[in-house]
């Protein structure tokens, strides 16, 4: 895992967006995996800027969201398919129908999860997957205690995640759905490249486990230690519980040189 501690959310967004843009320039029909939530917003802002500047185009690309709530009205503004459209995909040139999300409102969510996994495979798999991390260590909505090799499935949100996400639901945890469909850890790990963005002290424990803890289903993101092309971008607060900071910095600088940045 390549880990960087950067100076601001904007810098994290820029470095992450450049990684997505690089994939897109090399492969215009790339399949991009999208996380929702707050962390990737500066990344999406920078991709919108690059699109508006004529530097990149999504005209041949496809996208797959990581997850979706189960039990929300499909028109609810916080349904992830609506959220991602609002903050990112409607502001660039994805073709009609190219942005996918699990069908959280399907009558049979278990079927919908299997179907979504098959759709990702049929698209040739994800070229670059954007990730955030939950304060309890989830990626996608793979909550602690699940299978480290899971496929897209129905999962159940922890109270911690529902508390964290209440800010999107008028601060009312009771409005936060209890279930979701999420790409599984096995599905996420098949992406050819992972780019994670993390900010804030609330994520410091999860980041310590992710970067320096043992791989464990109790901290699902730790599965990323098995990925050979995973980049994790942190701000100072999110990195505050890491040790060996000097080595982390040296290794990042070395990786940057190798990549020609
Ligand atoms: C959302 C997702 C989640 C979030 C995580 C962090 O699609 O997959 O894993 O990335 O809950 O959310 P924020 O960025 O809002 O702190």
67 annotated active-site: yes
180: CA distance to ligand 1 center in Å?
13
- pLDDT by residue for the chain (261 residues), tens only, comes to 999 999 999 999 999 999 999 999 999 999 999 999 999 999 999 999 999 999 999 999 999 999 999 999 999 999 999 999 999 999 999 999 999 999 999 999 999 999 999 999 999 999 999 999 999 999 999 999 999 999 999 999 999 999 999 999 999 999 999 999 999 999 999 999 999 999 999 999 999 999 999 999 999 999 999 999 999 999 999 999 999 999 999 999 999 999 988
Please give the C-alpha separations between residue 169 and each of 29, 173, 181, 229, in angstroms, as whole numbers: 35, 7, 19, 35
Pocket lining for ligand 1, CB < 6 angstroms: 35-39, 66-67, 80, 132-134, 138-141
Taking CA atoms, 129 is separated from 6, 40, 59, 173, in Å, by 20, 11, 18, 28
What's the pLDDT score for residue 261? 81
Mutate which of 37, 104, 153 for ligand 1 pocket (most atoms within 8 A of beta carbon): 37
239's tokens:
């990195």
Q: What is the pLDDT of residue 251?
A: 97
Q: What is the pLDDT of residue 149?
A: 98
Kindly report the protein residue whose alpha carbon is nearest to atom 15 of ligand 1. 37
Q: How far is the CA of 121 from the centre of ligand 1 (A)?
A: 23
Query: Which residue, by CA, sits nearest to atom 3 of ligand 1?
Result: 140
Closest-CA residue, ligand 1 atom 8, reads 140
DSSP-derived 3-state class of residue 149: coil
If you take atom 2 of ligand 1, which residue's CA is the nearest one?
A: 140
Q: Which phi and psi (to 5°) does residue 70 adopt?
A: -100, 135
- 147 CA distance to ligand 1 middle (Å): 19
Catalytic residue among 136, 155, 209, 235: 136
Report the atom number in ligand 1 closest to the C-alpha of 40.
14
Q: Are residues 214 and 222 in contact, defined by beta-carbon separation less than 8 angstroms?
A: yes
Return the residue matching tokens 């964290």.
164
The rounded Å distance from CA 164 to ligand 1 centre is: 10
Is 143 annotated as catalytic?
Answer: yes
- What pLDDT was estimated at residue 178? 97
Burial (Cβ within 10 Å: 0-12, 13-18, ≥19) of residue 254: exposed
Output the six-digit token pair for 124. 């040739």
**Which atom from ligand 1 is nearest to the alpha carbon of 132?**
10
Tell me: the pLDDT tens digits for 161-180?
999 999 999 999 999 999 99
């Amino acid at each position: 895992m390549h880990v960087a501690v950067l100076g601001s959310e904007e810098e994290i967004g820029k470095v992450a967006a450049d990684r997505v843009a690089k994939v897109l320039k090399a492969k215009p029909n790339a399949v991009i995996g999208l996380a929702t939530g707050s962390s990737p917003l500066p990344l999406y802002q920078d991709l919108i800027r690059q699109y508006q500047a004529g530097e990149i185009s999504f005209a041949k690309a496809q996208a797959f969201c990581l997850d979706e709530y189960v039990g929300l009205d499909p028109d609810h503004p916080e349904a992830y398919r609506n959220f991602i459209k609002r903050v990112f995909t409607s502001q660039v040139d994805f073709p009609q129908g190219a942005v996918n999300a699990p069908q959280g409102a399907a009558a049979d969510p278990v079927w919908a999860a299997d179907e979504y996994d098959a759709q990702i495979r049929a698209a040739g798999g994800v070229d670059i997957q954007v990730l955030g991390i939950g304060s309890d260590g989830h990626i996608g909505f793979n909550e602690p205690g699940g299978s480290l090799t899971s496929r897209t499935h129905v999962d159940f949100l922890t109270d911690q995640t529902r508390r964290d996400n209440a800010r999107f639901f008028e601060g009312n945890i009771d409005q936060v759905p209890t279930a979701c469909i999420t790409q599984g850890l096995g599905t996420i790990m098949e992406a050819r490249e992972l780019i994670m963005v993390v900010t804030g002290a609330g994520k410091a424990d999860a980041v310590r486990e992710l970067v320096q803890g043992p791989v464990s289903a109790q901290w699902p993101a730790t599965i990323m230690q098995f990925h050979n092309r995973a980049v994790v971008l942190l701000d100072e607060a999110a990195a505050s519980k890491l040790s060996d900071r000097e080595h982390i910095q040296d290794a990042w600088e070395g990786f940057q040189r190798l990549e020609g940045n």
